[in-house]
Structures are given as structure tokens and as C-alpha cells.
Amino acid sequence: MRKTERRSGCWTTSRRWGWTPDDGAPICELTSIGVLPEWRGQGVGAHVIERLVEYASDEGFDVVYSLTGADRYLAQFGFERIAADELPPRLQDRLETKRENIQPDAVPMRVERADFSVPPRFRERFKDASAHEPDPEPEDTAEDFGIDPDEATYKYDTGR
């Protein structure tokens, strides 16, 4: 794989604590995972998710949650849809807020570390991942502005 200084995506993991003594255990939520357009379709997102779940496991989390609109994508890794009332109370509140403000179709999901796996096709794609430059935008022509180039004369103001 080619080394580059350019980034391929962004993500965060959140350690969240409950507000009451009964719910004081830390929980882990994957949130704000994104892959830049030129890196999509190459297994980069799968690689990021795998690393984040591994990191969560290293930090002592056996279960990782996500409140997402990408439930079909995450299901490929072993994440399962759960009912909102199966979430820890702090995440129940976050789910409600997320649905009200930014993602009405957000779905609560969870995966146990032991059930997490990356489909082989994503691993294969990632082996050859490289940034694909976006298609260049076409140059503007006189016709784009309603000018007939055969009839028009051009006058430039040189500021003199």
C-alpha cells in the first residue's frame, strides 16, 4: 500500500458514564465514523471499525454500542439491532436526542467483542486501498454562460 500524508476518514469513540450511582459503569459507543469519498468502497471503513472495536476491547469493554443510520452496514460485522430500552439509560437519552435533532432513523445496535468479525471481502479490498482522485470538474466555456464563441469578441480590462 502506498504511504500518504492524506487522511482517509474520521471517527470517535466515546466512553460514557451514567448519571446515577446505579448506572456508573463506563460504556463504549462508536460515533461519528466517516470515510472520505476518495477512500470509500475499499474496505477503509471496515478497517477503522475493526481498530475501534479492538481499541475498546483493549480498554476493557466487552460490548460496543452504536446509534446509527448504517445498521445494515454494521450488521455485517456482528452488530445486532436492539430495542431502545435495552440500551444503558445514558444512551437511551442520546438516542432520543439524536432522533429528534439529527438522525430520525437512528437505530440502536450493539456487538459483543467475541461476536465481532470483519468479512473477508473487506480485508481484501483494504489490501489495495489508495485514494482515488475525484473526477475533475469540467472547465467553464463561453457556452456555459450563453455566449456564442464564434460571434463574441473579448475585451480585457488590464486596469490601466
Are the C-beta atoms of residues 78 and 116 closer than 8 Å to each other? yes
Cell of 52: 475501534
**Does the reported pTM lie above 0.75?**
no
Q: How far apart are CA 109 and CA 143, in angstroms?
A: 52
pLDDT tens string, the chain, 160 residues long: the values are 334 444 544 444 444 433 333 556 789 999 888 888 888 888 899 999 999 999 999 999 999 999 999 999 999 999 999 999 999 998 999 999 999 999 999 999 999 999 999 999 988 888 888 877 766 677 877 777 777 777 766 555 566 5
Q: Which domains does the chain have, with CATH numbers?
A: 9-128 (3.40.630.30)
Which amino acid, 113? R
Q: Which of 96, 111, 105, 119 is nearest to 27 (CA)?
A: 111
Q: Give 142's contacts (C-beta < 8 A, 6+ positions apart).
A: 148, 149, 152
